[in-house]
Amino acid sequence: MNLTDYVRRVSREDFGKEFRHQAYWNRRLKTTGGCFFPKDGHLDFNPRYYEAAPLLFRKIVRHELCHYHLYFEKKGYRHRDRDFKELLEAVDGVRYAPALSAFETNVYLYQCQQCAHVYPRKRRINTAKYGCGKCRGPLLFVEKRNQSSG
């Protein structure tokens, strides 16, 4: 199922209304989950939210559909409007998308060169300054991993 079909299904199930335009993935969105374009009616969504937290993504789709449906019904579709706030609460959408950093964490792996013990760390460490806690051997940076907790 592609994104537009998914948005159409959410619109029918949660709003009882049809979504008649297109929905697109937009990796250039950095701090927002989605964006509504009143000029042509299409919606853009940040794929990183779908990858990190699929259950939250449906609430983001509801948020953008609130803008969409209210705009075409000629009601208040902006964040500050009462119509928007009431509809968003009725369909259980999110007011603001949480920061992606809440879902994605970097893990740095270090390994002792003498005893081969592996140290996962959230922050980078200076291998010239710190050594192994077990045998005091020198540490070697192994890799950086991205982990999602959504």
Q: What is the pLDDT of residues 18-54, one digit of tens each?
A: 999 999 999 999 889 999 999 999 999 999 999 888 8
Low-confidence ranges of the chain (pLDDT < 70): 104, 147-150
* Residues known to be catalytic: 64
Question: pTM for the whole thing?
Answer: 0.72
The pLDDT assigned to 65 comes to: 97
Other beta carbons within 10 angstroms of residue 67's beta carbon come to 22
DSSP secondary structure letter of residue 98: P
Q: Which residue has the tokens 């890799």?
A: 143
